[in-house]
Chain A
Amino acid sequence: MTTDLAPTGSAPVRDERDIVQARAVVRTLTAQLKFSLVEQTKMITAASELARNTVVYGGGGEMRWEIVSDGVRRGLRLHFDDKGPGIPDVEQALVDGWTTGNGLGMGLSGTRRLVNEFEIRTQVGEGTCVSITRWK
């Protein structure tokens, strides 16, 4: 894409193709914000992980983005929303994953290390929203 994306927007994350599309959107946004190469890669990878979780564990949902500012610096905030089963034990989810050696699991702890801010809001039976932010 050569045109700039709007400062806020959303994209569906329902199937595999949407995961690839989500990566492309984040690539465009981080390039727009002139993140360094390493910062771009980290954010795109984090988005890929969370988009996959939304598809695989959340039954599909959407990714919303917003370009944020705290007055002086700019950043990118992404929200991954689903109306899936929710996460019963968030603490556990944040500890498990690849760090315990098994290749499965949601890998949230790893994803958290790729971003500056990480927030999960989840309710069993209602859904999950994971929000991540990277500042420039």
Chain B
Amino acid sequence: MRPENQRLADLLRDEHDALLRGWTAEYHHYAEGRGLTQNLLADQQAILRGLEAGVRADGDANNFGAAPWNALRDTLAQLSRNRAAQGETADVTSGFTLALKRPIFDALQRQTSGLQGQIDVIWATSAIVDRMAQWTVSAYQKTREEIIVRQQHELLELSTPVIKLWDGVLAVPVIGTLDSSRAQMVMETLLERLVETGSEVAIIDITGVPTVDTLVAQHLMKTVTAIRLMGAESIISGIRPQIAQTIVHLGIDLQGIITKSTLADALATAMRMTGHTVSRDAG
């Protein structure tokens, strides 16, 4: 084992309590009240255990992905996930990890040793704690991304409600750009409802879709095809004059899909298709 790792391992063991105290103090000083303190002690102890194990296995900071650091990486990733999920900021989370440096340096200073030996162990410590902090940050980022994706998904679900307009007629008002994820959402929710309600006609209203280009047309085509595979018919409504012009201009072939400019027209057509007659009482 490298001498600096040996020294660090022994220090982590011998100065365990002092390190915990110093670390907590340093962290609170940095976080200025923004830090999460629940389970702080348990987290710190787990990190110190992982760090000591890695150092005793002669781990190298330049090879943080290697086996000696497995337990430490897992502990840090878990910690980041929890803190990201609870809304702690990135700098405070990484600051928590970095706050370990100062107490270790303080403990080293209390020991007497040759200058070169001191420099080596300080260098090794700094390198490893920096890597720990980098790892913490990237795990944090990934968790935040995951949360954002999940929230986007939920938002998407809310913005594509499927409404039963009449017996056998469903409608989906699409609001906002029809990109591939919204198209997926429309397909999934609409098809499920088709099965549940046994409907025969689905009206896709695109009044709320700002632009229709070849990509949007493709998504609409896919949706209509999926509906047809389920044995139902589609009507696309809400096609404004400008959109109609764009469609013709771009040479988009709607392949016989029924289109209407208003939802009212679409509903009237759908009623006829499902064998209903609507009449108004005289007088």
Contact = CB atoms under 8 A, between A and B. Distances in A.
Interface of A: 38, 70-73
A72 B146 contact: yes
A38 B226 CA distance: 13
Contacts of A73: 142, 146
B142 A70 contact: yes
B133 interface: no
Interface in B182-232: 184, 188
B77 interface: yes
B139 interface: yes
B81 to A, nearest CB: 7
A72 B188 contact: no
B59 to A, nearest CB: 19
Q: Main SS of chain A's interface residues?
A: loop
Contacts of B142: 70-73
Contacts of B188: 38
B143 interface: yes
Given A38-B188, A72-B142, 14 more contacts: A38-B184, A70-B142, A71-B77, A71-B138, A71-B139, A71-B142, A72-B77, A72-B81, A72-B139, A72-B143, A72-B145, A72-B146, A73-B142, A73-B146
A135 to B, nearest CB: 10
Interface in B134-191: 138-139, 142-143, 145-146, 184, 188
A70 B145 CA distance: 13
A73 B145 CA distance: 11
Nearest to B142: A72
A11 B142 CA distance: 33
A96 B266 CA distance: 37
Contacts of B77: 71-72
Interface centre among A38, A71, A72 (most CB of B within 10 A): A72
Contacts of B143: 72
Contacts of B138: 71
A69 to B, nearest CB: 10
A98 to B, nearest CB: 13
Nearest to A136: B146
A71 B81 CA distance: 10
Nearest to B187: A38
A39 B282 CA distance: 54
A70 B143 CA distance: 11
Interface in B27-84: 77, 81
A70 B146 CA distance: 12
Nearest to B81: A72
Contacts of A38: 184, 188
Interface string B70-110: 00000001000100000000000000000000000000000
A38 B145 CA distance: 22
A38 B138 CA distance: 30
Nearest to A36: B188
A38 B139 CA distance: 28
Contacts of A70: 142
A71 B74 CA distance: 9
A72 B137 CA distance: 12
Contacts of A71: 77, 138-139, 142
A71 B184 CA distance: 26
A93 B215 CA distance: 23
A70 B65 CA distance: 13
A38 B190 CA distance: 14
B183 to A, nearest CB: 13
A70 B142 CA distance: 9
Nearest to B138: A71
16 contacts: A38-B184, A38-B188, A70-B142, A71-B77, A71-B138, A71-B139, A71-B142, A72-B77, A72-B81, A72-B139, A72-B142, A72-B143, A72-B145, A72-B146, A73-B142, A73-B146
